[in-house]
Structure 1
Amino acid sequence: MIKKVLYITGTRADYGLMHDTLKLLNEYECIHLDIAVTGMHLMEEFGYSLDEIKKDNFNLHIVNQTFLKDDNVSMSIFIGNLIVDLTQLMSEIKPDIVLLLGDRGEMLAGAIVASYLQIPVAHIHGGDVSSTVDDSARHAITKLSNIHFAATEKSASRIKQMGENPDNIFVVGAPGLDSIMKSKDNVDKNYLLNKYKINKDFVLILQHPVSLEVDDSAFQIQQTLDAVMSTDYQVILVYPNADAGGRAMIDKINEYDVDAYKNIPHDDFIGLLSLASALIGNSSSGIIESSSFKLPVINIGTRQSGREKAENVIDVDYDSNEILNALGYIESEEYKNKLKTCQNPYGDGKASEKICKILKDIEINVDLLNKKFFELE
């Protein structure tokens, strides 16, 4: 019997992290994979990454919902409209499992729809904490999910604390590491140096708005750019997410003479991580993927404050002086020694294999759908 799996993607980030898992899942003869594409992928101002997705030849369904304005009201309207459209899509294609990653609104909308249509939800990266309001969405998705793919033992423990069935919680690692472990030693350095016009040591900036700090978004990226632009590093900046505050950040970025990219293909981004002198900002890439490269990371602000972190991560505030001091610290012998021995807490780069096997083998029945609250022993 063929099992139909629907994955929902709303950003270049989630798609890049899931690429290897989706590719492997699509190779299973007993799996039919559909992908719903929405949100940031469909926005020209953020690079229209749908074009990149089409190259992978998956079975795509375009769900034409985007953020109309740069505020929380527009985000809420987007999620509401997406619930309507995803209800129609799932009613038509009738997936056996809905696969979701992380904490974004697209994923929450998908979890709500699947739950009401009595379709099992498999959730990746549940139980993580970032100590921001996004955790509420992540934990809500966990409570709407039936199958849990945790990245770490700590995350699995938190899922258990939420009363989920221990038999349906699987520690698989972070799927974003899979492509890194396969390709990090095969980077085409000359190709990347030429494509991105890199002619000296460079840093990557990847910084997003924070839900409860929307009004400060422009100031926050200004502090980062003021610090980095005062150094001798070449700067490659990737646009922020299309969340409330994102457009204000872009307006501020445009005031600087900096190489800013709306979208960087995932394989290129991995290659740039392997070549960069540092990654600066507040992306989860700096927390989850970076230590596999022994890459210095300057993690700014609150967005990732609750995450498990390796020794390569330096936490600073939204302050140009602190960021500059951190850039100096990464050159110290003390830090370089930490970098040599840092270990990635997010797995071995084999999450895709584990996730796909579980999805292939798991039995969909009343017990899976009829969720009960499991007390901690």
Structure 2
Amino acid sequence: MRRVAVLTGTRADYGLLRGLLREIDADPELDLRIIVTGTHLIDAFGRTETEIVADGLPIAASVPIWSEADTRSAVAADVGRALPRYAEALIELEPDVLVVLGDRLEAFAAAAAATILSIPIAHIHGGELTEGAMDDALRHSLTKMAYLHFTSTEDHRRRVIQLGEEPGRVHFHGAPIVDALNALELLPREQVAARFGIRLPKQTALVTFHPAVMDVESPEVLLDELLAGLLDVDGLHIVITGSNSDIGTADVRRRIGEFVAAHPERVDFVESFGQVAYLSVMAAAAVVAGNSSSTVLEAPVLGIPSVLIGDRQKGRPVSASVASPSPDRGAIADAVRVAISSPASVEGTAIFGGPGFAALTTQTLRDSAIPRPPRKRFHDLEEKPHS
């Protein structure tokens, strides 16, 4: 049996990985070994490893890496300490391949440890751009460390090949979110509101905001303008979810807490909904706002208009349903008013493909030749003429 380790570090990546994890777990030729890390293991972020347990999936290793500090130097030190912890887990689990998703530091550190140990890596969501965040460099670094690649669009596949990866190892099986949405049964508005003790009228904005150290403005300025703009829209209820563990998160979370406390009549806060409830709230909302990837991926696929703030997602494919106003309260308020008056549309989301990601990716992980050590050739787009 091929031993497949899969790393999950946040509620967001787990939501995208859930279908793949179930397919791998059900395959008689594959041995699933889930490595849980990151904010899954932190109480302040909802300790979302409980979602994995509730889904009945086997956790093979838990690797805590984050301290309570969120400064640049503290995060750099945490990543340094994470390397031997990931290495210890990988040595114990002995995977034939490690699957990582996205562009976060958890994935980067785990992949670095796997590279040193000559463990082949399969990377999901490579070839994308987020020019307003250091995630961009981390993602492309993961591409160069990985042996197998699973991209979310054909354009992203082309870009991974452009980075020197051999075409036969770069696969587009559809985006994980399309698969996830196809398999989910969303909750009715009244049910999800009652479960989390929130208000969910039709004129609701679902808001998620994460700090990005390379953005057009400081996270504090962007957040303050976003929240002020949302308040300026008459009759709009605001539901805010918790921020990721990133550099500057503590101040962002403090500001969100103060905003919620100052406007209890118009604002609800939920640390973590879990994937099904989060997407159910999104489907019931009039608009999605903030700077998370859900503004450019989940919201358009569901046909919900979104308002994207700052440059954190700059470079990703953006559908016509996504507005990107300048980061000031007036422009944001105007964009929200237009969004909530727009009809639902999924125009332009075909670039993410159809359902099938989990099954096709499992098949590729099972049937592909994955050598160890994973030696690679650099694939040149054009052969240079001999002099």
Aligned-partner SS, 2:4: strand
Deviation at 1:148, TM superposition (A): 0.6
CA contact (8 A) 2:41 2:48 kept: yes
Distance in 2, matches of 1:215 and 1:38, equals 30
Give the structure 2 partner of residue 237 of structure 1.
240
| Shift in CA distance, 129/364, structure 1 to aligned 2, threshold 3 Å | same
Map 1:36-185 → 2, pairs under 5 A: 36-60=35-59, 61-132=61-132, 133-183=134-184
For the pair 1:263 / 2:269, whether they are aligned, the reply is no
Give the structure 1 partner of residue 251 of structure 2.
248
Distance in 2, matches of 1:353 and 1:86, equals 27
Aligned-partner SS, 2:353: coil
Aligned-partner SS, 1:330: helix
Q: Deviations over 1:207-228 (max 9, x none)?
A: 1110224982222211111111
CA contact (8 A) 2:199 2:268 kept: no
Give the structure 2 partner of residue 376 of structure 1.
381
Deviation at 1:371, TM superposition (A): 0.8
Q: Deviations over 1:292-319 (max 9, x none)?
A: 2110110111001100111111112321
Distance in 1, matches of 2:312 and 2:199, equals 29
Structure 2 counterpart of 1:336, from 343, 348, 361: 343
Distance in 1, matches of 2:308 and 2:286, equals 14
Distance in 2, matches of 1:195 and 1:276, equals 16
Q: Which amino acid aligns with 1:57?
A: G
Aligned-partner SS, 1:203: strand
Aligned-partner SS, 1:29: coil
CA contact (8 A) 1:4 1:32 kept: yes
CA contact (8 A) 1:100 1:124 kept: yes
Larger deviation: 213-222 or 146-155?
Answer: 213-222
Larger deviation: 85-94 or 311-320?
Answer: 311-320
Give the structure 2 partner of residue 318 of structure 1.
327
Structure 1, unaligned runs of 5 or more: none
CA contact (8 A) 1:205 1:237 kept: yes
Q: Which amino acid aligns with 1:364?
A: I
CA contact (8 A) 1:217 1:246 kept: no
| Shift in CA distance, 214/10, structure 1 to aligned 2, threshold 3 Å | farther
Q: Which amino acid aligns with 2:365?
A: L
Q: Which amino acid aligns with 1:288?
A: L
Aligned-partner SS, 2:349: coil
Deviation at 1:64, TM superposition (A): 2.0
Aligned-partner SS, 2:351: coil
Aligned-partner SS, 1:254: helix
Give the structure 1 partner of residue 297 of structure 2.
288
For the pair 1:272 / 2:281, whether they are aligned, the reply is yes
Deviation at 1:67, TM superposition (A): 3.3
Give the structure 1 partner of residue 385 of structure 2.
none
Deviation at 1:320, TM superposition (A): 1.1
Aligned-partner SS, 1:369: coil
What is the identity percentage for the equivalent residue pairs of Structure 1 and Structure 2? Answer: 28
Distance in 2, matches of 1:342 and 1:155, equals 16
For the aligned residues, what is the CA RMSD? 1.8
Aligned-partner SS, 1:212: coil
Distance in 2, matches of 1:73 and 1:259, equals 33
Distance in 1, matches of 2:58 and 2:51, equals 14
Aligned-partner SS, 2:352: coil
**May I ask how many residue pairs the two structures share in their alignment?**
371
Structure 1 counterpart of 2:220, from 213, 218, 235: 218
Give the structure-1-normalised TM-score: 0.94
CA contact (8 A) 2:5 2:35 kept: yes
Deviation at 1:6, TM superposition (A): 0.8
Q: Which amino acid aligns with 2:14?
A: Y
Distance in 2, matches of 1:203 and 1:169, equals 37
Larger deviation: 137-146 or 267-276?
Answer: 267-276
Larger deviation: 119-128 or 283-292?
Answer: 283-292
Q: Which amino acid aligns with 1:144?
A: M
Aligned-partner SS, 2:307: strand
Distance in 2, matches of 1:9 and 1:285, equals 18
Structure 2, unaligned runs of 5 or more: 383-387
Deviation at 1:74, TM superposition (A): 1.7
CA contact (8 A) 2:319 2:347 kept: no
Give the structure 2 partner of residue 358 of structure 1.
364
Aligned-partner SS, 1:98: strand
Larger deviation: 68-77 or 158-167?
Answer: 68-77
Distance in 2, matches of 1:214 and 1:157, equals 28
Distance in 2, matches of 1:331 and 1:195, equals 25
CA contact (8 A) 1:21 1:356 kept: yes
